[in-house]
Amino acid sequence: MTLEPHFDDAHSAGEARRAVREGVGVALATSAYGISFGALAVASGLDLWQTCVLSLVMFTGGSQFAFVGIIGAGGLAAAPSAIASAALLGVRNVAYGIRMSPVIGAGFWRRAAAAQFTIDESTAVSLAQRTQRARTLGFWVTGLGIYVGWNLSTLAGALLGDVLGDPRAYGLDAAAAAAFLALLWPRLRARQPIVVGVAAAVVATVLTPVVMPGLPVIIAAVVAIVVGWTNWLGKDEPADAAEPDDVAEREGLP
């Protein structure tokens, strides 16, 4: 009998550590952008408490920015449009919830808690991992880390908005997108995911100036649905070409 860890155990531990590192890194990058939201919300007419409650309850950056942007431009009369735009942007989280359900596991309270933290970044970090344990850790570390960091930075931005000036001058608006792209890039190993990524980006870019906020994201997602449904460009590729190391999916996750 030996006390040396089995290879699979050591491998699993390494994957778990990597998931935690990625989760913390993405949380730090995304949380920094909360300063921009806090400053913008106060500049748009919300007071300190309204700004903080919005981050605590809504907790989805795209919806929050859409809401305060429309309120800032149209005042209270624009509230219905602001709510509609924020809701449309939040629809994508429903799809994330369906995808993350096997990762979260059973149990009402666990799923109820996970619903608040099911966002772009927590989903991306989780699905980028190769084992079930790493996926679970990636989800919770990223979701909880961003929730705490986002709300703290929202408070800081709301308090220091006048001192900071335009937060976009610091490049914080690019931090979250850069972190998300870093997670996505290693997945683009075959023709099909590359085509999906490029096509969705083009669709979203073209539609953003001409349709209401939220719709470009939903319409761009249709590109992935159509390609996945028809398996376009994937028929001649090896079954594991797109995700060669995705152990968790081979073990039964959808």
Express as a percent the part of the chain with pLDDT over 70.
Answer: 74
Q: Bigger pLDDT: 235 or 206?
A: 206
Two structure tokens written together for 198: 């490029």
CA atoms of 246 and 116, how far apart (whole Å): 26
Better-scored residue on pLDDT, 40 or 165: 40
> Residues 238-248: what's their mean pLDDT?
45
The whole-number average pLDDT for the span 230-249 is 53
State which H helix or E strand residue 5 sits in.
none
* Percent of the chain predicted with pLDDT > 90: 28
Alpha helices (H) in 44-131, listed in sequence order: 48-57, 61-74, 79-90, 92-104, 108-117, 120-127
Q: How confident is the model at residue 136 (pLDDT cuts 50, 70, 90)?
A: very high
Q: pLDDT band for 169, please (50, 70, 90 cuts).
A: low
Q: What is the pLDDT of residue 154?
A: 94
Task: Report yes or no on whether pTM surpasses 0.85.
Answer: no
Most confidently modeled range among 30-39, 116-125, 140-149, 203-212:
140-149
Write down the pLDDT at residue 14: 83
User: Which of the two residues, 135 and 78, has the higher pLDDT score?
Assistant: 135
User: What pLDDT was estimated at residue 180?
Assistant: 59
Q: What is the pLDDT of residue 209?
A: 83
Sole residue written with tokens 């709510």: 83
**Alpha carbon separation from 177 to 32, 106, 174, 200, 239 (Å, rounded):** 12, 31, 5, 15, 29
pLDDT at 173: 56
Q: How confident is the model at residue 247 (pLDDT cuts 50, 70, 90)?
A: very low
| pLDDT value at residue 230 | 77
Average pLDDT over every residue of 223-240: 68
Helix (H, G, I), strand (E, B), or coil: what is residue 49? Answer: helix
Q: How far is CA 161 from CA 47, 82, 177, 221, 222, in A?
A: 12, 22, 22, 34, 38
Averaged pLDDT of the chain: 78
Confidence of residue 236 (pLDDT cuts 50, 70, 90): low
- Give the mean model confidence (pLDDT) for residues 63-91: 77
Judge whether residue 143 has pLDDT over 90: yes
pLDDT for 100: 92
